[in-house]
Chain A
Amino acid sequence: MALLQIFEPGESTAPHQHRLAVGIDLGTTNSLVATVQSGTAVVLRDAANRPLLPSVVRYDASGVAAVGYAAREWITRDPQNTIASAKRFMGRGIADVARYGTLPYAFVDAPGMVRIQTAAGVKSPVEISAEILRALRAQAEAALGGDLVGAVITVPAYFDEAQRQATKDAANAAGLHVLRLLNEPTAAAVAYGLDNRAAGVFAIFDLGGGTFDISVLRLSKGVFEVLATNGDATLGGDDFDQAIVRFWRERYNFAAAGLQDAAALLVAARRAKESLTNEPTAQAQIALSMGQQLAVKLSREEFVTISQALVDKTIAPVKRALRDAKLGVAEIDGVVMVGGATRMPHVQEAVAKFFKQTPLNNLDPDQVVAIGAAIQANQLAGNKRGDDLLLLDVIALSLGIETMGGLSEKVIPRNSTIPTARAQEFTTFKDGQTAMALHIVQGERELVVDNRSLAKFELRGIPPMVAGAARIEVTFQVDADGLLAVSATEKTSGVRAEIIVKPSYGLSDEETAAMLRSGFSHANEDKQARALAELIVEGKRLIESINAAIAADGATMLNDADRDVIAMAVEVLESRLSGQDQQQIKAAIEALSNATEDFAAKRMDASVAQALRGKNLNSLVL
C-alpha cells in the first residue's frame, strides 16, 4: 500500500512524494481513466493495451460476470443481463427511461431511480456504474502500482443534482475518494486549452453517447471561466442508433420479437452509424430470433434524413448558452468538439454552419475529457502547488423553492459561478403558524410540477406570530462539486433546520450493504485497518500542515494564548494517534481543526490582501 509506505510511523511525511490520482470519464458508451505522469497526462490502458473500457456490465446468477469488453460480447446473446448505457438511467425514474426508445432491459419501478431486474437480482444504475468504476480503479492501480489517493470523476454539465449525487455514490461504492465532480466540457476545455496555450472565448460542443452539453468558457492564463452552459441530458449518440432501428423497422417488414432482437438491432445500428462516418453506405446481416436472416442497408443520405432532427436539437441549447453568456457567434474564438458522436459528418457540418467556422478536432474526442480530469486530479491531489490552473465553473440549472400556488421561486439562477450561497427571506401566511414546509426544486420552469423535485424538509418550532411576522431566511449553498445544502432559520427566534440535499433513491438496506461489501472486498483487505491507517495519515498531515503554518505566520498572527490552545490540541491528537481508537482520533482531528479556524481565516485574509496589493500596482498602469 503506497499510502502507508509514504507515511510510515516515525518517518516524516513527504509532501513532495507523487500522490496517485486519476481522472475518470465515466461515459455512456465507453469509460476511461487517465493520470499525469512526469508532467504529461496519459490515458491508462488495460492489460491488452486498450484505452477505452466499454461501459457495459454483465450479471449472472453468481453476481457480476464481466465488465467492459468481455461484457460487451454478451449484449446480443444475453441482453437482459448485459447492461449498457447505465449512465442514462442514473437518477432517473421509469417514466424518464421510457422516453429513450426500446431498450432490452427489464426495468423495475422504484422510488427515486429506476432499477433493472437481472440474473443476479435487482440492480440500481448506481451499482452498475460502481462496477465500471471499480474496474477502472483496478486498471489504474495495476498500471500505477499503488493505491489511488483520489479521483476526479466527470459528469455532463447538464446533469442535475440527483444525477451528480448518484455518480458520487457510485464512486464511493467503488472505493474511490472523489476529489471533485468535474463537468465534462470544462474538463475538455482544460485539456484543449493547456495543450494549445489557447486564450479567448471558446465553445465546447460535447455530444456523447447519452448526453449533450454546450459550455462557453473564457480562457486566459490558466484560468478557465465558464460563462454559461446548457444542454440536453437526454440527447446523445444512442438516440441516433434508435433512429436507425426505427428506419429499418419501417423499411424492412420483419418480425423482430423480444429483447434479444432489440439488442441485435441496436448493435447493428451503432456499427452502421460508425461506418457511415467514412463510408457512403453501410450494410449488415442480423440474425433474428425467429430464424430470419435480415439484410439491412443504410446510406449516408438516408441517415442524415432520419437523424437531422436530432442534430438540430443541439442548436437550441447552443443559442441559449450564447444568450446567457451575452455573446454573439462572432465573438467565439473557437469551437472544440468533444464526444464520440461529434464524429458524425452532419454534426460537424451543423456546428460549422451555426458558428460560421470550422470546429476544432485536433484532440481525440473520446479521450479529451479524461485527460482534462487527470490534470485537475493531479493538482487537487497536491502534486502541483502554486500552479496557475483555476477552474471557475457554474451550475447549469436554477435552484429554487416552492412558493404559494405551486410556483417555483429561483434562489440561485442558472449559470451562477460556484461555489455560491444565497439567502432569501420568506414568511408565514397563517396566524400562529409554527411550522413551514420547504420544497427544493431544480429547473427553469415557472411551475414546480414542471421542474425536478430535489428534497422536502420542515422548519418546526416557529414561535406563534401573526401571519407575515415571521422572518424565515432560507440559505442555499452550492459547493464546488455543484452539490446543494439548504438551511432555514427563523430570524426572530433563531430556530433552525438544515438539510444536505441528497436525493433518496430508496436503496434498501440490503442494497446499500451489498454495495459497500463489494466496494471493500478486494484482495484480503481489512476495512478497519485501512480506515485506521487513513485516519492516522490524515492526523499526521494535519499536524504537519499546522506546524508549517505556525512556522510561516505564527509570530505575526498568533498571541501566546492562541498558541497554547493550538499546541494543546496538537498534543492531544499526537497522543491519540499512537492509540487504536478511531472515534478518539476523529474527535481530536476535529478539535484541532476547529482550534485553528481563526488562524486559517487570518492567513487567508493576508493572502487575499497580498493578491490585491499586486493588482493595485498593476492597475496604476491601466
Chain B
Amino acid sequence: MAVDFSQNHFVLFGLEPAYLLDLAGLEQRFRALQQQVHPDNFANANAAEQRVAMQWAVRVNEAFQTLKSPLARGRYLLKLRGVDTLEETNTTMPLDFLMQQMALREALSDLKQSPRAADAVDHLEILQSDLNAEEKALFTHLAVTLETNLDEAAVIVRKLRFLEKLREELDEVFALIDA
C-alpha cells in the first residue's frame, strides 16, 4: 500500500528500460535515492515514517541489485516483456552447450579433489577466465536477442544461470584452496 511496488525498476531509477545501461549513472542514482530513503535518515522520525523508509530502502536495494547484474537485468527485461525464463523447470539445453558444461564441471571436480596440488590455482584461474569470456559473449548476444528474439534471449538467460552456478562452485574451490 505504502510503496508502489508495481513501478518498474527502470522507472524507479529514471532510466530507459534497455539492456545496455550506463552503470556509473545507475550507481549515482542508487546513491542519490538511498540518501533520500535510508532508515538512518529517519532514526528520529515517527513509526509510520520509519516503516515507509524501510520499505523504500529495501525496494531501492532490490532494484539496484537487479539492474546492476547483467543476468538479473536480462531476466527482468524478459519478465517485463511477458517472457518467463523457466530456469528452475526448463532444463533442455543445446547439446554443444551441455557438452561444454560437462567438460568444465569435470575439470572443476578434479580440482576439488586435489585443492592442494601445486598448479591448482593456475588451473582454476584458467577456468575462471574461460568462464568470464563465455559469459561476456553471452551478455553481448543477450543484448541483441532482447531486441530481436525473446525466446532465444530466454535460452541465453538459462545458459547464464548455468554459468552462474558454475561460478559459485568455482568460488567454493577457491575457498578450499585458501583455507
Contacts and interface: CB of A to CB of B under 8 A. Distances in A.
Given A593-B48, A600-B52, A612 B13 contact: yes
Nearest to A619: B25
B79 interface: no
A512 interface: no
B109 interface: no
B32 A477 contact: no
A11 interface: no
Contacts of A220: 31
Given A319-B174, A611-B36, A615-B32, A596 B46 contact: yes
Contact of A611 (B32, B43, B62): B32
Contact of B39 (A379, A480, A541, A599): A480
Contact of A597 (B35, B51, B179): B51
Given A417-B65, A622-B22, A616 B178 contact: no
Contacts of B4: 605
A545 B40 contact: no
B97 to A, nearest CB: 24
B28 A419 contact: no
A598 interface: yes
Given A390-B40, A417-B65, A622-B22, A614 B32 contact: yes
A600 B32 CA distance: 19
B24 to A, nearest CB: 8
Q: Which of A381, A541, A610, A619 has the most B CB atoms < 10 Å from its CB?
A: A619
A180 B38 CA distance: 13
Q: Which of B31, B53, B64 has the most A CB atoms < 10 Å from its CB?
A: B31
Interface string B20-38: 0010110011011111111
Interface in A308-322: 315-316, 319-320
A420 B62 contact: yes
A480 B40 contact: yes
Contacts of A381: 43-44
Contact of A421 (B28, B31, B58): B58
Nearest to B61: A417
B94 interface: no
Interface in B47-63: 47-49, 51-54, 56-58, 61-62
Nearest to A391: B40
Chain A, interface size category, equals 35 or more
B175 interface: yes
A419 B29 contact: no
Contact of A420 (B34, B51, B61): B61
A477 B56 CA distance: 13
Contacts of B1: 598, 601
A598 B2 contact: yes
B45 interface: yes
Nearest to B11: A612
Q: Which of B24, B44, B57 has the most A CB atoms < 10 Å from its CB?
A: B44
Given A417-B65, A614-B32, A604 B43 contact: no
Contacts of B49: 545, 596, 600, 604
Contacts of A504: none
A271 to B, nearest CB: 32
A462 B34 CA distance: 38
B91 to A, nearest CB: 18
Nearest to A597: B48
Contacts of A416: 61, 65
Given A220-B31, A320-B174, A380-B40, 14 more contacts: A179-B43, A323-B171, A379-B43, A381-B44, A390-B38, A419-B54, A419-B58, A480-B40, A594-B48, A604-B52, A608-B36, A612-B32, A615-B14, A619-B22
7 contacts: A380-B44, A541-B46, A600-B46, A601-B1, A608-B33, A608-B56, A619-B14
Which 9 pairs between the two chains have the least Cβ-Cβ distance? A316-B178, A380-B43, A601-B2, A382-B44, A597-B48, A593-B47, A612-B14, A600-B48, A611-B36
